[in-house]
Chains A and B, each alone.
Chain A
Amino acid sequence: MNILDITINLNVTIIISVAIIVVTFGTTVFYLIRHPETLEKWASIFYRVTKYLLNKGEYQYVKYDIQSKVNSYSNKLSKDIPNLSPSNIVIHWINENQTREQFIKNNAFIIRMHKSVNQNKNLVNASMAYISGVLLRKAKSYIAKYQKDSIDLYVAYKLFENQKADILDQFVSDFLRDGLEKDKVGQLYDNFFDIGKAGIFFPVFIQEMNFLGEKIFAKGAEKEKIYKEVTELVALLYCYANRKFDEKGANEFVGSYCKFTIRILGKKFKIDNEGKKIYINDLKKISSEIETIYLIGNITNKSFIKSVINESGLDYSIYFTKEYAAIIKDKEGQDYEVQNFLMVLRNNKIAVYHKK
């Protein structure tokens, strides 16, 4: 091997190494831009360890611990309901050296953060402020207070159920126990639990609430009508979630604001005996005033559901699809877990309203 060969080999090695470093670095940066909560989680771990050593470590730990947990949940919600897009939270330490006049002029609302030995309390308070103030902001302006409270408590429970037990305990003792003492709130919360077990709380209920919020914004609010409609919506989803296998029940909701239907596709004996035709005919009978169709089937029937929709010629577009675990009831009413596939279709003639 001569010197020229060695130089070429060295150059090639350097180029490949640089390429690997650039690609790895680029991929990491791209991932962190897409998932800033991961960076926040690392930051919270770093500051948790170094908070006694670094000057602002205590502040940074409180900040990033809350941001990482709340923003991870917010991202999960965005994946469950693509049109929800909840904002991310940013903890902003205000300047304590401001005068009364400056404070009033700045019009800033301030929440107290305890020392990090009480971090669970900080996390629960900040999360409740976030859930109450940000999630479904438009829809929650018009629904009844007990409906709003039940949604907040259920959504907060879902946020804390996968955190450490002492965080969940803090939430239960500070908010949940008191909240559920009110009959109406407690009953609705229980209903949400059953709807959630069947895997349709977030994709159907929250989605419909989001659509409702958009419509109220455009049409103006008739509060009593809205309270009633939300109650009926929950009642239908509750019955649907609790029905036994093969039990017939209402699967269509046509209110002033929410108009949707839920259809199950792919029952084995129907597929074997009648194929796609029976489902295509059924879908074609759906009234044109229905704005959203929720198609549910076992995950093994995913391709079947897709081909039924492709061949049905419906004037609806696929809004989103999702695979999820659900607990449903057998013929005797016993719970069992299934892996389901959900396809949400939106009527092409629906106008979408967005707050500018």
Chain B
Amino acid sequence: MTKYQKQAVSKELFHQIFTNKNLFYLYLSIINYHFMINKENLNVIHDDNLETLLHNLGLLDKIKNGEIKCKFCSDKITIENINGIFPQGGDIKISCDKPKCVKDLSSFLNDKL
């Protein structure tokens, strides 16, 4: 959200505050303002749930058999070196935790946004 958009939102918020006596509505306005501030969701999976997710995606056995390669460096993916999981062209790709691949994943993600 740019400075100008924020100013517009603030203006709207203050308009609502001064034109509505209802405290509940005021509370909603503030919460609404809070959530209108720009946010970027970073979807994550915890180590504890990683194998369950991979199993549900049909990838766990393939990884254990060494059949999956990193999307960016083509190194073999193991449970230990997984960093990113994402869909591409109807398939699911995995990237490893090498610094270059962590950065490549961010750029790749950025291009998709």
A216 to chain B, nearest CB (A): 15
B51 to chain A, nearest CB (A): 9
Which one of B34, B43, B106 contacts A128 once the chains associate, using CB atoms below 8 Å?
B106
Alpha-carbon gap, A112 to B38, bound state (A): 23
Alpha-carbon gap, A50 to B103, bound state (A): 33
Q: Choose among A89, A92, A109, A129 the residue with the greatest number of B CB atoms under 10 Å from its CB.
A: A109
| Interface membership of chain A positions 93-126, coded 1 if the CB is closer than 8 angstroms to chain B and 0 otherwise | 1101111100110111111111100000000011
- Is B49 touching A132 in the complex (CB atoms < 8 A)? no
**Chain A residues near B58 (CB-CB < 8 A):** 100
**Chain B residues near A333 (CB-CB < 8 A):** none
- Is A96 touching B37 in the complex (CB atoms < 8 A)? no
Query: What are 28 residue pairs bridging A and B, where the CB atoms are less than 8 Å apart in the complex?
Result: A87-B38, A88-B40, A89-B39, A90-B40, A94-B44, A98-B57, A99-B56, A99-B57, A103-B87, A104-B91, A108-B43, A109-B105, A110-B86, A112-B44, A112-B85, A113-B46, A125-B97, A125-B102, A126-B44, A128-B102, A128-B103, A129-B42, A129-B105, A129-B106, A133-B106, A133-B109, A133-B110, A175-B102
Size range of the chain A interface in the assembly: 35 or more
Alpha-carbon gap, A203 to B75, bound state (A): 41
7 A-B pairs closest in CB distance: A132-B106, A96-B49, A96-B53, A87-B38, A109-B86, A133-B110, A87-B40
- Is B43 touching A97 in the complex (CB atoms < 8 A)? no
A91 proximal to B (CB < 8 A):
yes
What residues of chain A have their CB less than 8 Å away from a CB belonging to chain B? Answer: 29, 33, 36, 58-59, 62, 82-83, 85-94, 96-100, 103-104, 106-115, 125-126, 128-134, 137, 140-141, 148-149, 152, 174-175, 178-179, 352, 354
A222 to chain B, nearest CB (A): 19
Alpha-carbon gap, A137 to B47, bound state (A): 30
- Is B3 touching A85 in the complex (CB atoms < 8 A)? yes
A98 to chain B, nearest CB (A): 6
B28 proximal to A (CB < 8 A):
no
Alpha-carbon gap, A96 to B43, bound state (A): 11
- Is B52 touching A97 in the complex (CB atoms < 8 A)? yes
Q: Choose among B34, B53, B58, B92 the residue with the greatest number of A CB atoms under 10 Å from its CB.
A: B53
Which one of A96, A114, A115, A149 contacts B52 once the chains associate, using CB atoms below 8 Å?
A96
Alpha-carbon gap, A209 to B81, bound state (A): 35
Which one of B30, B92, B109 contacts A104 once the chains associate, using CB atoms below 8 Å?
B92
A116 to chain B, nearest CB (A): 9
**Chain A residues near B97 (CB-CB < 8 A):** 112, 125
Q: B5: nearest residue on chain A (CB-CB)? A: A354
- In the complex where A109-B109, A129-B105, A179-B99 touch, is A93 in contact with B42 (Cβ < 8 A)? no
